[in-house]
Amino acid sequence: MKLRLDKNSARYTTVGLELVISILVGGYLGQKGDERFGTGPWLLLFGFVCGLYAGFRAIFRAGEHMRREWKSGEGGDAP
């Protein structure tokens, strides 16, 4: 089986990493906010949810971009 790489393959392979990093950064900033303001776990939870949202938003944007490429005929075979 031949592996076909196009110009955007790096973008699509990093989407999972972007999800994990978004969640970790949101959680970290929330934890630091909790330490500074003494708000308990609330800013940590808020940061986690914001990171989760940002990560899934990146996944959906990449999927939409991939769909547009396939629809225009630039991305090869659609699944």
- Position 27 in a domain: no
Q: Are 15 and 54 in contact (CB under 8 A)?
A: no
Q: What percent of the chain has pLDDT over 70?
A: 82
Q: Helix (H) and strand (E) counts for the chain? A: 3, 0
Average pLDDT along the chain: 85
The tens digit of pLDDT for each residue in 52-68 reads 999 999 999 988 988 88
Give the pLDDT confidence score for residue 48 in this predicted structure: 96
- Kindly tell me if the per-residue pLDDT of 45 is higher than 70: yes
State how many domains the chain has.
1
Q: Is residue 65 part of a domain?
A: yes
Which residues make Cβ contacts (< 8 Å) with residue 5, sequence separation at least 6? Answer: none
Structural domain includes residue 34: no
28 belongs to a structural domain: no
Domain interval for residue 68 = 44-72
The reply to whether 13 falls in a domain is no
Q: Which residues contact 6 (CB under 8 A, 6 or more apart)?
A: 75, 76
CB 12 within 8 Å of CB 62: yes
- Asked if residue 54 is part of any domain, the answer here is yes
